[in-house]
Structure 1
């Protein structure tokens, strides 16, 4: 199994990992088996909305199973919305509100000087029906950043690419196309594409908090979005983020209005970073207090503990992650002041 695990602290062991799917704790259980004999706290970041009561209710049963099976572990959900936090808490989970878009790197995603704007809008959306690319097709000049993660068959993905290519001579796919399939762009290349567009698009009805929504804002792009579940609107500002009905004509009109306003990119970035810094300070303070509750004698985190967030999602096998974690120092005893969360 391939997962992403990031060590926030080695002693006490605090790990950050994304969760998702119909059984969000399935990958967590696999990690737990590898760490069953070690005290660990796992920070769980939903990469798909938990505003799904049926999924969360079933997860409550899984939480009870996990606590019984792995008594040395603590699970804490970092929820993308307050509603997610409420739902998780209601089934007995420990949860705080901390949107995962705090992890997006402002060093990678930023305005670039002297890049001409060639497109009215950019849409960074993987090859998936959930991304509703068709809603953008009325836009006159449009650039796509898109690739497949296997949600549809290879033949279906190639047909999807051909459909995008056939829409308009003024529409463009930024990704290289090899054997009819788009190749993934490096993150600095994605930022370069953003800087060629006037507006960023967010068109799904539900997903996670949508990393690309924060990428747009840090690059200085205003946003046209549809109503959605998942928390991508947490960092939106009504001065430069517009939510419209999921209709192609409405989206085109909103894009044109924001394009014509030509809001300074540095202003959008500055105001976004103010919100991001507030959220990061809150999470840093929470994690510093968490270390103390777990019995650590270390000082509080002196800075944002997710440095290198642009490469935070490092995917590897459980065996590889477990080998790395085994090399971390391990406390010989748990101090008396350590207590349950």
Structure 2
């Protein structure tokens, strides 16, 4: 692993016997990295560099983000943020809604427990307030430490872990499914996910997909690496032309129910929705130490934090597998924690809407539809146009 605890490229794709294939993979990877860096720098800096009005102000309209409108009048928007400049996507859509009073609920999809990121965040927050005086930004932080850091940087923040958004209606125990695997790991193709830590597990199911962090040649090499590891390891996704396809949430839940334990192997990310999906499905969890907040809902009775070593991960999986804790017990104890925090957030949102001048009665039920709907991606222009159009057609929820 590298200095940040992530997988090296060699650990991801495994040994390459052919010198030509290795040269091709490394060339494709370096080209992909250079292109990725250019896109990253442009997306990170452009929204802050553009004028607030005029023809050049629209150059960031193609930036993609996820946004969900909780209320149109008053305007309350939930949106994930991430990266080295977490507010870049908020600026892109905020510029198009500058004339409207709005509150943005910001969900960190990657940990903000990074001092250099929070330092920039403080400066960007001051710039945003000066530029868009009708807007209010509220961070829904995944950990208490994240909340403390954001508050110290001048932000408004509450502790509200984003795994509250995972749907217990989709992810649940299926009593008629037999266990075929010692563990399941739901992790995208990424050096942050450290799949190799699971390779010592005897029977393992992978759920994996690409979001373009590697070139396609690298994705294919990674898939071959997983396939060659053991005849008792299986990739649950459909594979077409050497690449994995998507699984519907219900299919993902079915795979969970075929496993005894869920795995969380990254060193840092966000709160990791899969960790909550496992628990909702009634699976115990083996995790490595991590930043990001996935351990907020863990319980030592059915969760083990193991060292990032394949043998340690295998031993922890076997320990939890052999405990054979009933799925309903894990699910019900998790839901008790989740519902208490959901109630706190619901009360907070009711008070917020009242402060914003809403004429609606206080919320009586959980207002979020689940992570899939919350993460509907579109460009900043598309989201803003839709908000403007729908806002004239209806009021409130």
Point out the more displaced range, 319-328 or 12-21: 319-328
User: Residue 118 of structure 1 aligns with which residue?
Assistant: 180
User: Residue 56 of structure 1 aligns with which residue?
Assistant: 118
Structure 2 distance, partners of 1:215, 1:208, is 14
Out of 215, 224, 233, the residue aligned to residue 162 of structure 1 is: 224
User: Residue 45 of structure 1 aligns with which residue?
Assistant: 107
Any idea what SS the aligned residue of 2:261 has?
strand
Offset at residue 309 of structure 1 (A): 4.5
Whether the aligned pair in 2 keeps the contact of 1:122 and 1:197 (CA below 8 Å) is yes
User: Residue 303 of structure 1 aligns with which residue?
Assistant: 365
Structure 2 distance, partners of 1:165, 1:311, is 32
Give the paired residue count. Answer: 330
TM-score by length of 1: 0.95
2:141 maps to 1:79? yes
Instruction: In structure 1, list runs of 5 or more residues that go unmatched.
Output: 331-341
User: Residue 156 of structure 2 aligns with which residue?
Assistant: 94
TM-score by length of 2: 0.82
User: Residue 137 of structure 1 aligns with which residue?
Assistant: 199
User: Residue 252 of structure 1 aligns with which residue?
Assistant: 314
Any idea what SS the aligned residue of 2:103 has?
strand
User: Residue 64 of structure 2 aligns with which residue?
Assistant: 2
1:111 to 1:231, Cα distance in 2 relative to 1, 3 A:
same
Higher helix residue share: 2
Whether the aligned pair in 2 keeps the contact of 1:108 and 1:310 (CA below 8 Å) is no
Out of 285, 291, 300, the residue aligned to residue 223 of structure 1 is: 285
User: Residue 335 of structure 1 aligns with which residue?
Assistant: none
User: Residue 78 of structure 2 aligns with which residue?
Assistant: 16
User: Residue 336 of structure 1 aligns with which residue?
Assistant: none
Out of 29, 33, 53, the residue aligned to residue 91 of structure 2 is: 29
2:127 maps to 1:65? yes
Whether the aligned pair in 2 keeps the contact of 1:77 and 1:93 (CA below 8 Å) is yes
Whether the aligned pair in 2 keeps the contact of 1:14 and 1:43 (CA below 8 Å) is yes
Any idea what SS the aligned residue of 2:192 has?
helix
Whether the aligned pair in 1 keeps the contact of 2:69 and 2:76 (CA below 8 Å) is yes
Instruction: In structure 2, list runs of 5 or more residues that go unmatched.
Output: 1-62, 393-397
Offset at residue 310 of structure 1 (A): 4.2
User: Residue 39 of structure 2 aligns with which residue?
Assistant: none
What is the Cα-based RMSD across aligned positions, in Å? 1.0
